[in-house]
Amino acid sequence: MAPDAVATLPDQAMAPEPWRIHSVRRDVASNEVLSWTLYPEPGVEPGAAPAPGQFNMLYLFGVGEVPISVSAITDDGGIVHTIRAVGSVTRAMQDLEAGTVVGLRGPFGTAWPLEQARGRDLVLVAGGIGLAPLRPVIHAALQRRSEFGRVVVCYGARSPGDMIFRDELDAWAARDDVDLRITVDRGTAAWRGDVGVVTQLVDRGGFDRRNTLALTCGPEVMMRFTASALERRGLKPEDIYVSMERNMRCAVGFCGHCQIGAHFVCRDGPVFPYPVMEPAFRVREL
């Protein structure tokens, strides 16, 4: 290998910067999902703002570090992260209050290819907490609404009580330039919306099969069936993008914890063209 081909760590890539939790918002009745709005501590020079789809490594001092995707960027430079308690670090994060300082590295990874959707219909399919990484795309698409054709947002949740960003869902539903479709796996007596898997919302069409870009985020099995439903509606696989998740450590493609075949999810993803990930979906326990 030529000396200039030797990979090196980017400067400061492994050093977390101190960011303070400005506010904590809890979305789900069970309190297992929360959103932090973070601002850099004085003296910290934030790098480039995260693009929709990218993630940061959040470090809870003395506990550990986890990759968390960005769920919004505020107008004044704050970053919103939405976190679900599923492991030791994220469970510990549930106890933190506004004012706490955490470590942040990033942003890392690939972004949703929103530019490819200009002049085309845009279909976003989110499952569960997978709405969080797609939320910045929705914000961006609504800010630049005239650049896109139909904007269809399909969201599947476990139950009405598990839906996140309820106020924003209501706001999007009230717009006549967004086709918001929501379904839950299990309804309640009070629920008047759709019941069933999110793929059935895709099956209802309402977008131009020859001129649509589809972005999907959620559990892998959901993304696989969503891609099948989109292909059934006539989309080409290369017009479908998925966001993957793996256990990450370095976030810069060195340690290999997040590898899927030849791909580092942290560096080459988390957003991948579906044809790149489709073979991996067929490998058991990968």
Partner 1 sequence: MNELLAIIEKEPFFEDMAPEHRRLLAACAAKCSYTAGTRLMSDHEPTETFWLIREGQVALESPLREGSVAFQTLGTGDILGWSWLLPPYRASYDARAVTDIHTLRFDAGVLRERMEADPAFGYVLMKHFAALIVQRLQAARLQALDIYSHGGPGHGA
d(CA 251, CA 215): 22
16 binds partner 1 (CB under 8 A): no
Tokens of 69: 């995707």
Q: Do 188 and 29 touch, CB atoms closer than 8 A?
A: no
CB of 271 to partner 1, least distance (A): 10
In whole angstroms, how large is the CA radius of gyration of the chain? 19
Q: What are phi and psi of 231, to 5 degrees?
A: -65, -35
Smallest gap from residue 143 Cβ to partner 1 (A):
21
Asked if 170 is part of the footprint of partner 1 (rule: CB under 8 A), the reply reads: no
| CA pair distance 112, 90, nearest whole angstrom | 25
Of 107 and 156, the one with the shorter C-beta distance to partner 1 is: 156
Q: What values do phi and psi take at 75, rounded to 5?
A: -60, -25
Q: Which is nearer to partner 1, 141 or 244 (CB)?
A: 244
Residue number, 120 or 135, with CB nearest to partner 1: 135
Alpha-carbon dihedral sign for residues 222, 223, 227, 230:
positive
Number of residues that bind partner 1 (CB under 8 A): 55
179-184 and 194-195 strand pairing: parallel
Of residues 191 and 254, the one with the C-beta less far from partner 1: 191
Closest contact distance (angstroms) between CB of 200 and partner 1 is: 6
One-letter amino acid of 120: R
By CB under 8 A, which span of 16-24, 42-50, 99-107, 191-199 interacts with partner 1?
191-199
Given 16, 39, 78, 194, the residue binding partner 1 (CB under 8 A): 194
CA dist., res. 247 & res. 22, Å (int):
27
Binding partner 1 by CB under 8 A: which of 50, 106, 107, 130? Answer: 130
User: For the chain, first and last CA: distance in Å?
Assistant: 30
**Which 48-107 positions form the footprint of partner 1 (CB under 8 A)?**
55, 58, 66-69, 71, 82-84, 86-87, 89-90, 93
Confirm or reject binding of residue 196 to partner 1 (CB under 8 A): yes
Contact 97, 25 (CB under 8 A): no
Q: Contact positions toward partner 1, by CB under 8 A?
A: 33, 55, 58, 66-69, 71, 82-84, 86-87, 89-90, 93, 127-130, 132-133, 156-158, 162, 183, 185, 187, 189, 191-197, 199-200, 203-205, 217-222, 225, 233, 243-245, 247, 270
